Every structure is written in structure tokens, then in C-alpha cells.
Chain A
Amino acid sequence: MSETSVARKETYSYDDDIVKMFLIATLVFGAVALLLGVFIALQLANWKLNLGLQWTTFGRLRPLHTNAAIFAFAGNGIFAGIYYSSQRLLRTRMYSDLLSRIHFWGWQAIIAAAAITLPLGLTVGKEYAELEWPIAWVINIVWVIFGFNFFKTLQIRRERHMYVAIWFYIGTIVTVALLHVLNTIQIPVSFWKSYPVYSGVQDALVQWWYGHNAVAFVLTTPFLGLMYYFLPKAADKPVYSYRLSIVHFWSLVFIYIWAGPHHLLYTALPDWAQTLGMVFSVMLIAPSWGGMINGLLTLRGAWDRVRQEPVLKFFVAGLTFYGMATFEGPLLSIKSVSALGHYTDWIIGHVHGGALGWNGFLIFAMTYWLVPKLWKTELFSVRMANAHFWIGFLGTVLYMVSMWVAGITQGLMWRAVDASGRLVYPDFVETVIKIVPLYWVRALGGTLYLFGFVLLLINVVKTVRSAPKSEKRETVSGLGLADSKPEVYAGKPHRMLEGLPGVFTVLSLVAVLVGTFFELAPTFLSGEFAPTVVGLKPYTGLQLHGRDIYVREGCYTCHSQMIRPLVWETKRYGDYSRAEESIYDRPFQWGSKRTGPDLARVGSKYPDLWHYRHMMDPREVAPGSIMPAYPWLFKGKTDFEIISKKLSVMKSLGVPYSDADVENAEADARREAQAIADKLISEGADPKTAEKEIIPLISYLQRLGQDYKKGAIK
């Protein structure tokens, strides 16, 4: 170091308070997410645990669980790790402490809003994008604040080179912004109700482009960034291959974005898009395993320490679960495997292998490593941390194995036909009863995982309490960017690129935009995906309102509306679903799981009274059913006044309603409701039924599949 540069040394400190804040939030919301997970797992094992209350029903709590796990637990964990590692890798304090705190409190406010609105049934009805438009826009704003603070920090950094972890953070920030903004373009009907601008096939493609990449760019890329920083720190070894990390980053961000359609195999999505999704999903195994191998080999020469150190145990197991999940994902994306596994609990097992094993364990590793450093003390109990590892590991394995068995059992039972070609298990409920014992095993696995988490909480609290009381803010010193060694970059284009965050960001964005363009653009440019079908009428006002009740109650969390062109499906549910059948569906409700049967052609299959009784007490008409009862639909009054506004918004989105349809919507809906109620009353229903919410829901259910059955769709 030259004398000149010594003279220019700058003194600065890191903002570790923001890291502590995010870490505490991670632990608090981790407990919430896991408690909710165990609770809804028990609800599936015993339907009585839905408690007969609308706010505690599975359909409303399941989105709360997924949002809490992904955005509250994993989200806060990511931010804690990013704030800690970025400051050190860039050798600077965050650009603005104020923006960091706005980010923190804004994010917690979003979580609080989700915790209130989702149990109230205020939802868009698209998985992992359920939050209604005011909250969605707050997410956009808070994310931009986070991104602005991050990029300004890049600008004031003292380290010219951006370590690979920073690349993953950049990829995450730009792609999540792109995904979230495009998927949440909605037209408000009221403050808490909106309709997506996309419909049917387009909505499905955009949603799963978003949904799968939420997994990619919230649960994968930022965690890989954290892995590339915290694992070498914990192992005290450099990353195995920096070269491999470059290949890992670029191939991962390039490929991941194409993989979304593997959630829609055998659906009404065009074949070319399905094939693209499948091929790129299979290819994903290469960069994913490249990253896993790079992580595991980082421990070369340190494997003896894995036995003693819980941090390394969590890292090793986390990476191994990552490897398993990223093998299973491409496997499930192969069409013939998807035919068996899709809509079953296998997918739930796959997702939780990643969430519990990869995301959870990585956060635990980071927490055990960070807490003693942040509070400048020793971990309270290494033994307790080791116990946490083994209990959590056992819980994860129980969860995954039970769901694999349940899923494959379901898949095989659904497709079983006898020698004469008839379904062996024609009654769907038979396939449900068979796997209920496995739901108990899953709940046990989740409970063990939660118990391990409680040990972590105790350990952290005890560690923090043992910390020295007076904390003196420590300062560090280093050269400014202008004084760092530019000669290192001479003639090294990629290193120069890594030193130019703006260019790097643009190239990352281009990498994800290539796949986005190829997949989404044809769908929007071609009228084939939103065809005008002569004779296909949009929903009546009452049916549309009933559909919104269906969405509100989260029916899509257990029922699909997509019959695949597979023999055993058409035998069970009727002819396969066509793209045209969904063209007025905002949001699309194809679903991703069949805890209950598909409903695409349920209309007119049963009389109104059957639905009435079924919603009152499912077991009255379907013995053995695990579906909750919906007694509040028989008490809550239908909001007829809003129906006209709903039609008006739909009309503005291109649905062929006439002005008269919009103007008379309320009166028409009341008339239609009265007609349905009169029939039900004559069969013994409550005389005040006409005004109750059960009527629009029945009206909607009876409409499903009618366009095809009545010949409006060929």
C-alpha cells in the first residue's frame, strides 16, 4: 500500500442495527409461518380444526401460511443476510439508514396487512400473489426503495469488484421487480377488490411465469448469494470454484425464467409453451447442481468440523436438500411424470423439501453464525443447536416422505382403471380417505420442525441476554473506490463488467427478458389465446359475484378447474378443458392441487339443493369428505349493489357486456337469486335464502362447464 493511499484511508462503520431488526423479524415470522403450517396440516388431517369460522378456514389460512413463509420468514431472512454481507463485501455502510428503516417498517407493514386481509378473504386468488392491489402497490414501492438503497450503496462502495453474492442480489432485485409489477396489473373494483387485466390462458401463463420465478428469485437466487458469502465465512475456506460461480449465476438466471409453464403441463396452455417450459426445466438441473456442488466442495478439508459445528451441519444439509429439490423439480417437469404427480401431494412434498430443507436450514445456519457476531458474544448452547438440527432434519424427512407416498398414492388411484376400462376408484373421496393417515404423519413432521425452531428461539434469546450490555459502535477503515487498485482490471473485460453495476444490472435484466419475451409475447400477440367465441356468454352478474366468493374462500387451494386430456381424467370429470372456457376468467382458477375433485364441469352435475347441503355440511352428501363447512355463507348477505360496478370493470377489460347489462346488473342478479332461492325454499331451504351468499356461489358452480355442455364451445 502506498503512502498516498494510506493518507486517503476513510473511516466508516456498518449499519448492523438493520441486520438485527431483520433477523428478529425473521425469527418472529418464522414462528408464525410454522405455527400456521402445522395448524393447516392438522386441518387436513381433521376437518373439525377449521373451527367453523370463516377466518380460520383452510382456504383462507393456506395463502396466509405461504405468504408468511415466503415473504415474511424467508423475505426477512434474505434482507438480514443481504444487509450484513453487502456492507462488508462492498466495504461501505448502506447508502441511507433512513431508507433501510423505511424498507424494514414498510415490509413489516405489508406482512401485517397480509395477516389481516387474507383471513378476511380479501384476495386476488392467484397463488403467492394473493394480496389485493393497495398492498401489491406498497410492495412495489417498498421494493423500489430497497433497490434504490442497494444500488446507491453499490455506487459508494470502496471495493471495486463485486463478489458473486452481489450478482445474485442484483439479479434478485431487478427480476422480482419485473415479475411483481407485471403480474399485479389489476383494475380496482373497490379498495379491496380488483380484477387482473389478463384472463384465462394469458393469466395462467403470466401467473406461473411469476409464481415459478418467485421460487427462483425469492427462494433461490438470494439464498445462493447468501450461501456464497456465509458458507465460506463459516467454513473459513474460499468458495471451491469462482469460475463455476460465474457459470452458475448466468446460466441460472437465463434458464430459470423459461421454466414457469411446467406448472401448466397438459392444460389448455399451447403445447409449444408447455414444451419450452419442460425442456428448460430439465436443463435447470445443470446450473442448480453446479451451485450445490460448488457449495459442498467449499467444505473440502473442513468436513471434520461438520460433526461439531451446527452452522456447517445446517449448510451441508441445506445444500443437499437444495440438490434433492432441484433434481425433483426437473423430474416433475417431464410431462409423463407430471401426469402422475401434478395436483397431488407429491408437489407439496417437493415444495417443502426446498422450503424447510433449503431455505429454512440456510436461514438457521446464517442465524447461528450471525447472532453471536452481531451481539458480540458466544452462542448460548451448541448442543441445543445440534439438537435443533437433528429434530428439524427428522421433521423435514417425515414431511417429505409422507407427502411423496401420499402424492404417488393419489396419482395412482386417480388413474387406476379395471380391465373393462372403468375407474377403480370413481368416488374421489375414496382417494382422500386413503391418505388421511399420511396427513397425520405430515403434521407430526411439521410439529417436529416447529419444535426445533423453538429451540433456536430459546438459544437466540439466551445468547442475546448473555451479550455485553454496553455496545460501542466499532469503526473500520479502508481506501475509497478511487484509491483502490485499478491496475487489477487492466485487460480483464469481465472484471471490468463486474465493476460496472449499471451494465451488469442491464445484462442481468436482458438475461431474464429473453425468456420472458419468447414465452409471453406470442401469447399476447395472438388472438388465439383470447378468442371471441360466438354464442359464449360471459358470466351473469350473480355468477360473477359467486365466482368472487369462490375466490374469497380460497376454493382454488383444494379444487382445480382444468381437466387434462388424459383418459382417466376425462373418464372422471368429462371432456378435457378448452382454452376458450376460461376466456372470461379473471383471475383464472385452474388451481394447482386437488385435495378435492376438479370442478371444471361440475355445473348441472348435481341439483342446487345438493350444493346447498354440501356447503352446509359436506359430509351429509359426501361421507368421508375432509372439506370444511361454510355456515357463514348461509348468514352473510349478498352485496348486490357492487355487481353493477363489477360488470362495468369487466366491460372495460373487453368482456362483452352491453350497457344495459351493466345498468340492470343489480336487478338482474336479484331476480336470478330469487329464482334459485324459490326452488331451494320449495325443497326445504331457509325462507330468507335469496339474500344469502350461498345463492351466488351455487349460481357460479352450476355455470361451470355449461358452455361446453351446451355446445357454445366445440
Chain B
Amino acid sequence: MMSRTLSQIAAQQSFMLWTTCAALVIFGLFFAAMVFWVSRKERAPLYEHMSLMPLATGSDHESSK
């Protein structure tokens, strides 16, 4: 069934708009969910902590100094 549908999409140029729209909807949902997920306020301290990781100085991170 799936195989047949995909073959039809591939073979018929009229499905062009349908395929592109489906792809955009998939990405749009994915993107919106991701933005919602990362924008929650309670995550701010965590992200601040994370963003400091490369800068952590001292023996744990800088053996070369």
C-alpha cells in the first residue's frame, strides 16, 4: 500500500504540491514543537549553565594550560 502510494507520488507530477506541502507540514510541526520545548522559562538556568561549559577553567577542562 505504502509502496504503491509512493510510486504514484513519484510517477505523477500532479502530486508535486501535495508532497511539498506534506513535507512542510512535517517540518512545521517538528519546528514548532522544538521552539515551544526550548522556550520554557524554567530552562533558563540550565541553558546558562550549559553555555558556560567550554569556558570552565581549572584542571577539569584545561590540561594544556
Contact = CB atoms under 8 A, between A and B. Distances in A.
Given A161-B53, A242-B51, A514 B6 contact: no
A14 B64 CA distance: 9
Given A275-B16, A275-B20, A254 B63 contact: no
Q: Among A164, A233, A250, find the residue whose CB has the most chain B CB atoms closer than 10 A.
A: A250
Interface of A: 13-14, 16, 85, 88-89, 91, 159, 161, 163-165, 228-229, 232-233, 236-239, 241-243, 246-247, 250-251, 254-255, 258, 270-272, 275-276, 279-280, 283, 373-374, 376, 474-478, 488, 492, 494-495, 514-515, 518, 521-523, 525-529
Q: Which 10 A-B pairs have the closest CB atoms?
A: A522-B10, A526-B10, A242-B47, A272-B16, A238-B51, A526-B7, A242-B51, A476-B59, A522-B6, A528-B11
B65 A373 contact: yes
Contacts of A251: 31, 34
Given A91-B61, A251-B34, A476-B61, 18 more contacts: A14-B64, A159-B53, A165-B54, A229-B54, A238-B55, A243-B47, A251-B31, A270-B13, A271-B16, A279-B23, A280-B27, A373-B64, A476-B63, A494-B38, A515-B23, A522-B6, A525-B7, A528-B11
Interface string B42-65: 010011111111110001111111
Interface in B4-38: 6-7, 9-11, 13, 15-16, 19-20, 23-24, 26-27, 30-31, 34-35, 37-38
A13 B63 contact: yes
Contacts, number: 132
A376 B23 contact: no
Q: How many residues of B sit at the interface, in one of the four size bands? A: 35 or more
A272 B27 contact: no
A161 B54 CA distance: 12
Given A475-B63, A522-B6, A246 B34 contact: yes
Contacts of A91: 60-61
A243 B43 contact: yes
B16 to A, nearest CB: 4
B11 to A, nearest CB: 4
A18 to B, nearest CB: 13
A13 B25 CA distance: 48
Contacts of A232: 51, 54-55
Contact of A279 (B6, B7, B24, B48): B24
| Main DSSP-derived SS at the B contact region | helix
A170 B61 CA distance: 21
B65 A236 contact: no
Nearest to A278: B20
Given A478-B59, A514-B26, A272 B10 contact: yes
Contacts of B43: 243, 492, 494
A376 B65 CA distance: 7
Nearest to A376: B64
A528 B10 contact: yes
B10 A233 contact: no
B64 A233 contact: no
A19 to B, nearest CB: 9
A238 to B, nearest CB: 4
B56 to A, nearest CB: 9
A488 B65 CA distance: 29
Given A279-B24, A373-B64, A376-B64, A246 B13 contact: no
Contact of A243 (B26, B39, B60): B39
Contact of B19 (A164, A272, A475, A477): A272
Given A91-B61, A478-B60, A522-B9, A239 B38 contact: no
A236 B15 CA distance: 52
A51 B11 CA distance: 48
A271 B13 contact: yes
A243 B13 contact: no
13 contacts: A85-B54, A163-B53, A228-B54, A232-B55, A237-B55, A238-B52, A251-B34, A270-B13, A272-B10, A272-B13, A477-B60, A494-B37, A518-B23
